[in-house]
Amino acid sequence: MSIDSQQAFTDDERELSAMVREFADEVIAPRSYEADRAHQLPLDLVEQMGDLGLFGLPFPEEVGGQGGVYASLCVAIEGVARVDQSMAITLEAGVGLGAMPIYRYGTDAQKAEYLPDLVAGRALAGFGLTEAEAGSDAGATRTTARLDGGEWVIDGSKQFITNSGTDITRFVTVTAVTGRTDAGRPEISTIIVPNGTPGFTVGPAYDKVGWNASDTHPLTFDGVRVPEANLLGQRGHGFKNFLRTLDEGRVAIAALATGAAEGCVEAAVDYARSRTVFGERLSTRQNMQFLLARMHARVHTARLAWVHAARLCDAGKPFTVDAAVAKMTASDAAMANARDATQVFGGNGFINEYSVARHYRDSKILEIGEGTTEVQLMVISRALGLTGTVAA
């Protein structure tokens, strides 16, 4: 009896998943090792994902999208992540952090200028949120923007910004302090900064542990001037807007982590069936069978978690806590399965040519990006009514 691991999907989602997985196996997977070794995002693969409509999945047809829902995007991200997390995060960030803020909060002029290329995968955009002192505590943003003669003047820096330095990157959306509220708190707004704007510098790409084919850079802004019309959404709503962006991002990262966890299962099962040790196939040993069964159970649980959160998101219902649960559950699954799969492969699991070695390196960031595991625990514990500190 074979396991149907996609019972949580609709028929349309199964069809989409089959298409994406075939593309991932036949087109992306053969390029993954070299892209990882070269630390280079293959833009021709980005273009092909655009041609398949993956960047337009959650957008309506009137803006060039596929007319789907957010869950459809997550299905595609999961399918790509099985074989290559770098390509999966490029898709996730390209949609969730690049195109979606423009679609959701942009003016008609901003949508007309940027959405067609973003939705088609012909362009990418970054979301400049994280700073050296403002990661998990994004409210501590120090980048500033002030109005001067009808222009925003931006000063500050950002770090770990995905899709910010490719040859097809059009802009980054930057969170910046634009004033103070009546209560004295920072007023955070989001502003579009096109690449190539004077004073906007994209630093050298990071030398990362994993996600090596994903484009990631630090950014600096030194007296950068952009038109006042580049404000994205209402002034002072940047913090509120990015919270929605992060909630959706956590669901998408959970889908990515689920795909990574499943890729580890698939590789480990194939290896256990083909590897002979002491005259026996690894797959015939009960301890190996139990290990692989637990790995599958993690994938199953992670998928149920992200699908549930995505359904709530698409239904317009509150999903913040469910997104946190999904992100934590799936990232735990990815790390655990990467560790176990590497052990199954033995020495080969330490060789980057094998996918499980890359998953082992790649999966750690899933417990950090889009909110650390500790942040997800904070979100969940607050929902349980657990606030304040405990006296020593």
Task: Enumerate the active-site residues.
Answer: 370
∠ CA(351), CA(353), CA(355), 5° rounding?
Answer: 95
Task: Characterise 224 by phi-psi region: left (phi > 0), alpha (psi -120 to 50), beta (else).
Answer: beta
Strands 124-128 and 169-180: parallel
Give the integer Cα–Cα distance in Å for 112 and 95.
Answer: 16
Q: How far apart are the first and last CA of the chain?
A: 54
Give the integer Cα–Cα distance in Å for 376 and 390.
Answer: 19
Residue listed under structure tokens 């909630």:
247
Contacts of 233 (CB under 8 A, 6+ apart): 101, 105, 106, 189, 190, 241
DSSP state of 353: T
Give the integer Cα–Cα distance in Å for 308 and 298.
Answer: 15
**Nearest partner of 251 among 296, 316, 313, judged by Cα:** 313
Specify whether the CB–CB gap between 170 and 114 falls below 8 A.
Answer: yes
Q: What is the CA radius of gyration of the chain?
A: 21
Outline where DSSP puts E strands in the chain.
124-128, 144-148, 151-162, 169-180, 186-194, 200-202, 216-227, 231-232, 276-277, 280-281
Specify whether the CB–CB gap between 201 and 219 falls below 8 A.
Answer: yes
Long-range contacts, 143-151 (Cβ 8 Å, 24+): 143/174, 143/175, 143/176, 143/177, 143/221, 144/176, 144/177, 144/178, 145/174, 145/176, 145/177, 145/178, 145/189, 145/191, 146/178, 147/178, 147/228, 148/225, 150/227, 150/228, 151/225, 151/226, 151/227, 151/228
